[in-house]
Structure formats: C-alpha cells, structure tokens
Chain A
Amino acid sequence: MTAEIITGAEIAIRCLQKENVKFVFGYPGGAVLNIYDAIFQQKSFKHVLVRHEQAAVHAADAYSRATGDVGVALVTSGPGATNAVTGIATAHMDSIPMVIISGQVPTHAIGQDAFQECDTVGITRPCVKHNFLVKDIKDIASTIKKAFYLAATGRPGPVLVDIPKDITAETTEFIYPENVSLRSYNPINQGHSGQINKALDLLVNAQKPMVYSGGGVVLGNASEALTEFIKLLGFPITNTLMGLGGFPASHENFLGMLGMHGTYQANMAMQECDVLLAVGARFDDRVIGNPDHFLAKPKKIIHIDIDPASISKRVKIDIPIVGDVKLVLEDLISAFKALKSSSSNNLRTDWLKTIDLWKQKDCMSFEDDGTQIKPQKVIQKLHEVTNGEAFITSDVGQHQMWAAQYYPFDKPRRWINSGGLGTMGVGLPYAMGCQLAFPDSQVACVTGEASIQMCIQELSTCKQFNLPVKIVNLNNRYMGMVRQWQEFFYGNRYAESYMDALPDFVKLAESYGHVGMKIENSSDIEGALKEAFSPKLKERLVFLDFITDQTENVFPMVPNGKGLSEMILADDAEDL
C-alpha cells in the first residue's frame, strides 16, 4: 500500500490527530498560514484562538496540568515565538508536558534577517526539555512523534518544533512512526530494589518521620499510591505549592503546605524530623529556605524522583531512588506489606504530640472584624460555595498564597498555578485551559488587580468560546507581595508597587460581554460568590472584583535566605 501524498502542513495536522489532540491553542501569522489552512479543513480537534501567544501556551499548559495529556500550542515565527517564550519557560519550570509548534521563515531565508525571523530554537533552548528545527519535509512526522514522546516521558516538559514555511507547502507521503527509540534518551522508571529496601528500613525505624511531596506526585499520577502509603505508615505529610492535592488536604495526617508561606507545623516538622521522605519534590529555595540551616538539624533523607539531576542538587541525599514516583511508591507499599511488621506506629507518640503542639499555634488564623474584606475569608467562602470541588487557577503573589493556604485540595490536578517561574498573568489563560478540558466543572481564577491585567485581553477569548470562568479578583490596589516585602524589608518604601489608575473592572468585564460585580463589604462575600456560581450565571463569565483590606499580609513567612523554622507569624509581625 502506498502512503498518501500530502503537504507538510497536512502532515503536521495528521500527526496531531494521531496523538489524539483535542485542542490546539494558537494564533495565526505568515509563517503558519499553510498550517492554518490545513486546520481550516479538518474537524478532529478544536483550535482555540487566543488574543496573545503567551496565553496560547499558558492555556495549553493548564489543559495539560488539568488532564495529564500533552498540551499543544501553535504560534507563528518571530514575535509569535518570542511572545510564547514566557509560557514555555513557565511550563518548563513546572515540568509540564507540552508540544509547541512554531512557524519559521522559509529555509532559504533563514539567517537573512527575514521579516518576522528569529532564532526560535536558539531563544527557547534554555527553557524547553528539547527543541527541533525541521529542515526536511520527510522529517516532520518523525520529529512531531519524538516531540510528543519526549514531552510526556521521563521528567516531562515542553518540546518545541520549529517548522519553516516552505516545507509546510511541499508534499510527500505521510508515514507516522509507530514507536520512538532514542539511543540518547532512556528514562529510568523502575526504582532500584536495593535502594527501596534501604529506604523502607530507615522509614520503619524512624522515630520522627516526615514525608514531603511535590509536583512530581501530581504529574506522575501517584496520588493514590502516596495516600495508601501514608495510611499504611501513619506518617505526617506536607505538600509543596506544586504538590497540593497530591495528598488529600482533609486527611488527618496532612500538616498543610510547607515553605516560605507554609504552616508552622509543616515547617517545624520538616526541620525537626529524623527521617525525611521526599517524593517528587526538589528542595527549592521557596520550600526549604536556607539549605545549611535545614541540614543543621541532622536527618536522613530519602528522595524519590524521576530526574537524577534533582537528586542532591541543593541538599545532599542519603538514599536516592530514581524512578517513576508511582511505581516506586507501589514497590514501597508491597515491600512494607511483606515486612509483616507493625513497627510503623510504635514509639512515635512523642513526635505526634509535638506536632499537635505546633498545630495549636493556629498559624493560619487571621483577624476579621467583619467590616473590610479579608482576602483569606474570600478564599474560605470560595471553598464553601464550590464544595472544594472547583478547579482553582491563580496568578502570582499574595492571592496565590492565600488560595494555596485557604482552599484545601483533596484531589490532584485541581490547583493550577505557576510555582517555579512565578508568572503573573497565567491565571486567566489557565482557567481557559481548565474550562475547555472540563466544560461542566466549576473553574475559578483567583487573581489580583495587578496580575489579571497581564493577560486581561483573554476576556475576549472567553467570550468567543463561552467559557464561564469565575474571576475572583482580590483587589487591594497594591502589588501585594511586593508591598509586603517592602513593608518588611525595605522600611515601608513602596517603590512602584501601588496600582494607580485601575480600570473599572465591572465595566471592563461588561464591555467584553461578561458579568461584572464589585464587592466592598465583608457581609456580601458569600452572596456574591453564590450568585456567580448560581445556575442563573452558569453559562457566564463573572468578574468578581473584591475590594480587600490593603494592609493584609501573608503569614507565616520565612524571610528569604532564612531557615524553615525561622518563620514570622502573624502575631509576631507587629514587632517587625
């Protein structure tokens, strides 16, 4: 049988069909016109036209975070590609599997400073898992196949495929490879049994055990295995910002999030434990603070991670286990069951009592006199109104931390935020990606008046595609987190952190064809949220502009460079 002869553009589209792609987020332009013409003539996936390429990548990224599938974005050459860079870097820092297809000027024009030319492969090289420039039409199919394979396997990440315009117009036969094999790329999935046994031995004999899990558990679909393991061992556990939902927040062993704005009990338990099990987490600066301070209290550390380069990067690891977190946890579970020992729960009452004492600090309480709107209360009410079932996206800053602290997640892939790169502006496109993936689910974008303006143009996309996202804008007229650092560490000198000349968000939402609400009284929080999520507004995007207390800060806080146990609590803040 001879293969069909089709254009390079059609080949690219067929490849996406073969990969069961359901949505392509993109923006057309000169170099991708052939590809768009091929998209026009197909029905297997939906193209979502954004209003800025950055949002295309963010939305595809969120689609991946929410579903676990590879997200796909399509942009043109030059500015299309450079606009996409922030989105790509965001996905890269959080290890999100994505394929980005970018148009390039024709092969004969490459290097000539052609119109809308840039070295896309060069520019994106440091912020992708891998990238390709396709120079021959015969390589399009195999390259896209490789891109999907690389994006989704091992430690996932974004992969970019740059395709010059001329080869999308040429024709050749379409043959999609069944398999990919790369001699230079063989991720290790199965954990080493010797290491697993050593780890288990350390764990069952620990006096003060602690478990810390991160985004790897969510990405590796290992939540069930982790939950079973914790239930078997009865250990306390904390999640990183990226790991929230990887272990049910309502479970009694959960100590809350750790890190710069983690709970007192989680940070103290991390510091004081004698054996620490890290699962799919990378000991980054926002999580363990100063590594020397963290290690000053002697502890044995076991680290499960799919990426060998994550092991001993910031903190020396005693027992590394390289592998897929789910498979390794399953092996640990079977090994533990085979031990037939119930040594897990003995002799640890002192440790659990100590943790209970830390919990009694009640570090998350906040003052609320019922007049000004407390941002924390808005999140608590959002949790109540949505029964804790919503997809919550956030931007970056104080509102992000409050969302992480006051919206407990019981399921993975419900908390969608930019943890690594900390990209302001992701919230709304993230909500779009989630809503398209789960049209019948509630999706709320928790944001601030500064972040939301970084991708505000996507209100137009939401209108076009009828995305009934609820935007919860915690409007304190400041870049809140910047202001908080300036208050604490820069003598109250609020350099450029004041958001002057804000738009009327209600009118702005209305001008895009949405519903806007302004909420100024604490007593109106619940009513407004209930209305926004009511059947009446089920089909509508609602922009809730909450005018919040300008002076509210995020606590606890580990100051930059300090140790995890050196937290500032809300009660201490007056002494600053």
Chain B
Amino acid sequence: MRHIISLLMENEAGALSRVSGLFSARGYNIESLSVAPTEDQSLSRMTIVTRGSDEIIEQIIKQLNKLIDVVKVLDLHDGDHIERELVLVKVKANKQYRDEVQQLSSSYGGRIIDSSENILTIEFTGTSTELDNYLKSLNNSFVVEIVRTGASGIGRGDRILKI
C-alpha cells in the first residue's frame, strides 16, 4: 500500500543521504522524496512516498526513527491528510492546438506560466493521482518535457508535525 511519511530531521550535511541510504540498504521502495528547510532553520522536513505491507511500513518508520538525526516521524496515512504535488509540463502548442491545450489545462485547473510561439509551459498542482490523470489527458505526442516535484503532505486540522 502507498504511504506518505513526513519527517523532521536536523538540517545538517548528509541528512538526506542518511535517509536515502537507509531505503536502498534495506531494500525499501521509494516513490518520491522531497526535502526543504522549515520555518525553523535548524530543521528539514522530508516527505517520502513509499509502498509496502503494514509490516514493511512499520519497519520503515522504526528504522527512520532510529537515525540519530531524525527528530520526528509521522505516517500521514494514519489519519486525515492533504497531499499536493506540482508538475511543470512543456507542450508543443502551435496555432492549431493552442486553444485545445489551453482549454484542457484550464478545465483541470492548470495554469499557463510561460508561452512562446510554439511552446506552452503549464503548472498544475494536485494529488499525485490528479497529476497522473491530468498528464494522461494530454496527448503524449505534444508533451516535450515533464518535471514533477514528488508529493508533499500535511495533516488535516490540528494534526501537526512539529517539535
């Protein structure tokens, strides 16, 4: 099953490689990983999307907690949460298709953030599934480039990951 794990860790050199190294050393699946500093400059927040049985996920969380630099770990799937991912898509859009691409994007809630004579760049935000659906709707032969950020997640309401 797919899980989104959020964690806070000391914002130190090598922190990311401790986490990614753990996943590769123990053969855990890693679908995406995003990391950035938080409002507290001494902390990094990481969102890891992974897949595994309940036993594997339990081990992943324990092993993450065991890393000395990891301050807190939360499996967002244990409760209500919000997930967002950003994608930037560059599509071929000459006069013939321009309107169609624009319509499609706006119907999904995408935003055109750059345009040139033959190329449109669209920004789209949503859950990873929404991104998948949106990208499927685009005609593959027009897609020039896709950049996805990997999911970020946050608990709903007063479900807060903070120290």
Contact = CB atoms under 8 A, between A and B. Distances in A.
B71 interface: yes
Nearest to A135: B13
A185 B68 contact: yes
Interface string B1-41: 00000000110011001100100010000000000000000
Nearest to A311: B62
Contact of B14 (A125, A126, A185, A311): A125
Interface string B61-80: 01101101111000000000
B62 A308 contact: yes
B14 A121 contact: yes
A216 to B, nearest CB: 15
Given A122-B17, A184-B10, A312-B58, A129 B68 contact: yes
B18 A125 contact: yes
Contacts of A182: 68
Query: Which of the listed residues B9, B59, B63, B66 has the most CB atoms from chain A within 10 Å of its own CB?
Result: B66
A361 interface: no
A314 B13 CA distance: 32
B13 A133 contact: yes
B70 A184 contact: yes
Interface string B45-70: 00000000001001100110110111
Nearest to A150: B68
B66 A309 contact: yes
B9 A309 contact: no
B163 interface: yes
B25 to A, nearest CB: 5
Contact of B68 (A121, A184, A309): A184
A307 B65 CA distance: 10
A184 B9 CA distance: 8
B163 A183 contact: yes
A126 B25 contact: yes
B17 A184 contact: no
B17 to A, nearest CB: 7
Size class of the A contact interface (CB-based, 8 Å): 10 to 19
Nearest to B64: A309
Given A129-B68, A184-B71, A309 B59 contact: yes
A126 B71 contact: no
Contacts of A377: none
Nearest to A308: B62
Given A125-B21, A309-B62, A184 B69 contact: yes
Nearest to B14: A121
Contacts of A18: none
B71 A183 contact: yes
Contacts of A121: 14
A283 to B, nearest CB: 13
A313 B10 CA distance: 26
In this complex, which of A125, A182, A184 has the most chain B Cβ atoms within 10 angstroms of its Cβ? A184
A130 interface: yes
Given A184-B71, A312-B55, A126 B63 contact: no
B53 to A, nearest CB: 12
Nearest to A122: B17
B57 to A, nearest CB: 12
Contacts of B21: 125-126
Interface of B: 9-10, 13-14, 17-18, 21, 25, 55, 58-59, 62-63, 65-66, 68-71, 163
Query: Which A-B residue pairs are the 5 nearest by beta carbons?
Result: A309-B62, A130-B68, A184-B71, A309-B66, A126-B25
9 contacts: A121-B14, A129-B68, A130-B69, A133-B14, A182-B68, A185-B68, A307-B66, A309-B66, A311-B62
